[in-house]
């Protein structure tokens, strides 16, 4: 084999090519139905079709099979590859098949050694190199490279064992990922509610929306056929499950970049309490001209639709009376572009109790991490809007009412108003609203929130 240092670009180019190659192995399995299990048979079929002679046939058939890989580090890199991972159970099945194949190879090697001893063949002369022994059983355990967080906990998974040092890197999963997957079992922590892809549907445009669509001379109607959606597993996909959601915006933008954006939203309402988790990945289109307009976030009242206005940062709606900056009905996850990688699963976990959002790739990718995003200020502003919308319009607009509210509180501060009357004033929601002291006001009803995803033209996403 050629020395990697003699290849143009050197060892770095070889490693980069290998990483791209193993990513494509998973991509073919995940998106095109070319699963790992039947890869050896497909390679043999191609060799037969090429009509090689018997010697070349046997050589190529063996070398092209994934089960024939003997470099333990390369197999570990494949099993731990974060790009376009098919279902974890399928990767686990491949590990089992590869392990069995190596065991059979070892048995054949020992059998050949026994036959050689029985035939009393002479030992190799000095300077001759014996055939390399197959890997020992201790180095065969690749189950440590699996991302256990993604394995179905109801199935019997192999016992956890440390990754053999000969693989040269750490396992693809970490204690942090395992802890998240087992929150219900660790120290009584609350397990997150999973928002499944099958709960997503298309969000309509806001009624009366005077956005970019109004400037398109050819038509003012939405191209509803541009969003192609597949819910559940398909024959061509080894990554989909019955709860998955795949959407591709096939529109072509001729006049205005971003005009053909489509929005999908989860129908699962989330009250601002507890933990909710959404897992997704971008399958294709990162090179599209409008790719930078892809966004994810939280929104309220999705039935009211979505608005894209000139100069607007992302999805939104025309502001309501009293709505302040930072309290819009759409909360955009601004950290997502810094961690979103094509083909890599992104987990978004919203902790309403802590008032923060966590983003992480599964498996983790070195060099790609972002701090948690604070959510408390947005929730506070949304709470304020809920209160304002519940109060009589007179309390919000009457200058005399606001003046009297301020006067009563000044009397309380001066000590001239006390007792039950003072407590009644302090507990009055209308007075608190008039004085913009909403932190002490009781909310009569709680607003519900939903995950949303903006899919620009050319982008394809999968929600698990």
> How does residue 410 score in pLDDT terms, banded at 50, 70 and 90?
confident
- Alpha helix (H) residue ranges in 166-254: 175-181
Give phi and psi for 394, each to the nearest 5: -65, -40
Q: How far, in Å, CA of 230 to CA of 236, rounded?
A: 12
Average of per-residue pLDDT across 238-264: 84
pLDDT digit string (tens) for 125-165?
A: 544 444 555 544 444 567 888 888 888 655 544 444 333 33
pLDDT digit string (tens) for 346-392?
A: 999 999 999 999 999 999 998 899 999 999 999 988 988 888 777 77
Contact 459, 262 (CB under 8 A): no
**Whose CA is closest to 92, among 81, 79, 83, 101?**
79
Residue 285 burial (C-beta neighbours within 10 Å; 0-12, 13-18, 19+):
buried
Report pTM: 0.78
* Residue entry with tokens 């002679």: 53
Tell whether the model's pLDDT for residue 88 goes beyond 70. Answer: yes
Q: How far, in Å, CA of 356 to CA of 348, rounded?
A: 11
**The predicted structure's pLDDT at residue 55:** 56
Total residues belonging to the chain = 464
Which of 109 and 328 is assigned the larger pLDDT?
328
> How does residue 4 score in pLDDT terms, banded at 50, 70 and 90?
low
Average of per-residue pLDDT across 317-340: 91
Q: How far, in Å, CA of 367 to CA of 153, rounded?
A: 29
DSSP state of 460: E
Q: How far, in Å, CA of 463 to CA of 439, rounded?
A: 36
Contact 216, 434 (CB under 8 A): no
Average of per-residue pLDDT across 28-37: 89
Which of 124 and 352 is assigned the larger pLDDT?
352
Residue 388 burial (C-beta neighbours within 10 Å; 0-12, 13-18, 19+):
middle
Cα–chain center distance at 169? 24
């Amino acid at each position: 084999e050629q020395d990697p240092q003699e290849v143009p670009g050197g060892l770095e180019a070889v490693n980069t090519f290998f990483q791209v190659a193993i990513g494509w192995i998973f991509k073919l399995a995940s998106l095109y139905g070319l699963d790992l299990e039947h890869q050896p048979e497909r390679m043999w079929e191609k060799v037969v079709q090429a009509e090689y002679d018997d010697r070349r046939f046997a050589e190529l058939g063996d070398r092209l099979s994934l089960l024939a890989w003997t470099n333990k580090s390369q197999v570990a890199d494949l099993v731990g590859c974060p790009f376009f991972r098919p279902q974890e159970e399928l990767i686990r099945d491949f590990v089992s098949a590869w392990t069995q194949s190596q065991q059979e190879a070892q048995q054949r090697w020992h059998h050949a050694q026994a036959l050689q001893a029985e035939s009393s063949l002479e030992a190799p002369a000095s300077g001759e190199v014996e055939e390399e022994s197959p890997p020992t059983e201790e180095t065969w355990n690749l189950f440590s490279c699996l991302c256990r967080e993604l394995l179905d906990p109801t199935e019997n998974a192999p016992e956890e064992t440390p990754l053999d040092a000969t693989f040269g890197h750490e396992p693809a999963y970490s204690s942090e990922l395992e802890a998240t997957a087992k929150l219900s079992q660790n120290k009584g922590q609350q397990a997150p509610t999973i928002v499944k892809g099958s709960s997503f549907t298309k969000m309509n445009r806001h009624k009366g929306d005077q956005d970019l669509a109004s400037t398109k001379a050819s038509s003012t109607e939405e191209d509803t056929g541009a969003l192609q959606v597949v819910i559940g597993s398909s024959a061509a996909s080894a990554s989909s499950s019955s709860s998955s959601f795949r959407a591709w915006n096939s529109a072509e933008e001729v006049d205005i970049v971003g005009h053909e954006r489509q929005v999908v939203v989860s129908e699962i309402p989330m009250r601002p309490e507890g933990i909710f988790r959404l897992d997704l990945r971008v399958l294709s289109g990162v090179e599209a001209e409008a790719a930078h307009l892809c966004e994810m976030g939280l929104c309220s009242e999705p039935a009211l639709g979505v608005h894209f206005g000139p100069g607007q940062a992302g999805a939104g709606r025309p502001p309501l009376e009293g709505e302040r900056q930072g309290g819009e009905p759409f909360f955009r996850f601004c950290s997502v572009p810094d961690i979103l990688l094509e083909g890599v699963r992104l987990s978004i976990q919203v902790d309403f109790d802590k008032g923060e959002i966590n983003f992480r790739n599964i498996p983790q990718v070195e060099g790609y991490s972002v701090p948690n995003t604070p959510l408390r200020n947005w929730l506070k502003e949304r709470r304020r809007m809920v209160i304002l919308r519940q109060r009589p319009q007179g309390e919000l607009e009457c200058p005399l009412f606001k003046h009297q509210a301020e006067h009563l509180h000044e009397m309380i501060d001066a000590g001239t108003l006390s007792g039950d009357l003072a407590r009644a004033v302090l507990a009055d929601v209308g007075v608190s609203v008039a004085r913009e002291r909403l932190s002490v006001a009781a909310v009569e009803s709680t607003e519900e929130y939903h995950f949303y995803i903006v899919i620009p033209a050319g982008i394809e996403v999968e929600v698990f």
